[in-house]
Amino acid sequence: MSSARKVYVTRLVPQTGIDILKPECDLSFWESDEAIPQDELLKNVKGIDGLFCMLTDNINKDVIDAAGPNLKVIATMSVGYEHIDLVECKKRGIVVANTPNVSTDSVAELTVSLLLLTSRRLLEGVRAVKNGEWGLWKPMWLLGTELTQRTVGILGLGRIGYGVARRLRPFGVRKIIYHDVVCVSYASDIGADFVSFDELVKQSDFICICCNLTAQTRHKFNKDAFKMMKKSAILINSGRGGVVNHDDLHEALVNGEITAAGIDVTEPEPLPASHPLVSIPNCIVLPHMGSNTWESRNSMSSTAAKNILAVFHKEKPMGEVN
């Protein structure tokens, strides 16, 4: 009988992680690129020692109960871990680990891309060409906003927020301000000033949401926040959808309380194609693509695998969150 530790992987993931786990573990998988249904998850986790999961899996008390007392580690192939019941894991001494660092560059690049896509109205341009609406050059057509001499506000100056700020500096922005739970020492490297949340929303021409979803950040961008923002402001969200109240965002965009929004994360996900935010021209909705690069996904898979082995070897995983 094999004494290899049992690890369940809730999706088809890049081979990088599998190659790390295979020599030591008894692996089984949800053999699909689609999310595992909750009833299948409950069935398949029985008796496992380690769980390799995704941000779409709801790792609640029921799943932890179904896994049973051998479960030592839950490694999510994501930075976000709001889908895991940390309280329940803590009670039972289950280590929870995420994949910090490895998607910082991909998400920061995506955030800057989305900002430029939105502020320069590029998709409206593409659509106009496709629809045969491109006439002779017009001086007043599809005008956007430049980053030069503007104030950029960042909610959450963690690794990704810092990466966004660093990439935006060379565009000649006038000022970078940020709000977070604490002032961070490295903010001075990019000349970013800490401000209150109210000041962030009042002063910024562009706001990038780069924070986690927590009880403190849930629906932080709501009616009240949108009313404080400049009418010319552009909102970018690559953090978590739940930080923004989407009904309030729609109202703010339609009533001209803010100019435009680019969102890579939504609430819910997927956002139905019939959602009003999808069809208004001043909102760009992407399907949560922040870390969609070969580099990030390979590293996310190997990091999650290494986190599992670290716990089995009684070492500290790279991304321990609890």
Show which residues are catalytic.
288
Residues in contact with 248: Cβ distance below 8 Å, sequence separation at least 6, in sequence order: 219, 221, 222, 223, 226
Question: What would the two tokens of residue 162 be?
Answer: 């810092």
Q: Which is nearer to ligand DGY, 103 or 245 (CB)?
A: 103
Q: Identify which range of 41-49, 77-85, 136-144, 182-190 contacts ligand DGY by CB under 6 A.
A: 77-85
Q: Is 55 in the site for ligand DGY (CB under 6 A)?
A: yes
Select from 86, 97, 25, 28 the least CA-distant residue to 315.
Answer: 97
Closest approach of Cβ 14 to ligand DGY, in Å?
Answer: 13
Query: For ligand DGY, which residue of 10, 44, 103, 104 counts as binding (CB under 6 A)?
Result: 103
Query: For ligand DGY, which residue of 290, 303, 304, 317 counts as binding (CB under 6 A)?
Result: 290
Q: Which regions of the chain does DSSP assign to beta strands (E)?
A: 5-9, 25-29, 50-53, 73-76, 95-97, 151-155, 175-179, 192-194, 206-209, 234-237, 260-263, 283-285
Closest approach of Cβ 175 to ligand DGY, in Å?
Answer: 28
Residue 54 and residue 78: Cα distance in Å, rounded? Answer: 7
Closest approach of Cβ 238 to ligand DGY, in Å?
Answer: 8
Q: Is 78 in the site for ligand DGY (CB under 6 A)?
A: yes
Closest approach of Cβ 163 to ligand DGY, in Å?
Answer: 13
Q: Which is nearer to ligand DGY, 201 or 209 (CB)?
A: 209
Cβ atoms within 10 Å, residue 208: 30
The answer to whether 75 and 97 are in contact (CB under 8 A) is yes
Q: Which is nearer to ligand DGY, 10 or 78 (CB)?
A: 78
| Local structure of 320: helix, strand or coil | strand
Closest approach of Cβ 242 to ligand DGY, in Å?
Answer: 12
Q: Is 119 in the site for ligand DGY (CB under 6 A)?
A: no
Residue 60 and residue 82: Cα distance in Å, rounded? Answer: 10
Query: For ligand DGY, which residue of 63, 79, 94, 260 counts as binding (CB under 6 A)?
Result: 79
Q: Is 118 in the site for ligand DGY (CB under 6 A)?
A: no
Residues composing the chain: 322
Single-letter code of the amino acid located at 197: F
Q: Which is nearer to ligand DGY, 203 or 238 (CB)?
A: 238
Q: Identify which range of 74-82, 156-164, 215-223, 228-236 contacts ligand DGY by CB under 6 A.
A: 74-82
Query: For ligand DGY, which residue of 56, 80, 83, 125 counts as binding (CB under 6 A)?
Result: 80
Beta bridge partners of 96: 74
Q: Is 303 in the site for ligand DGY (CB under 6 A)?
A: no
Residue 22 and residue 14: Cα distance in Å, rounded? Answer: 13
Closest approach of Cβ 54 to ligand DGY, in Å?
Answer: 9
Residue 285 and residue 34: Cα distance in Å, rounded? Answer: 21
Q: Is 111 in the site for ligand DGY (CB under 6 A)?
A: no
Select from 139, 119, 141 the least CA-distant residue to 129.
Answer: 141
Q: Name the residues that contact ligand DGY, by CB under 6 A.
A: 55, 78-80, 103, 290-291
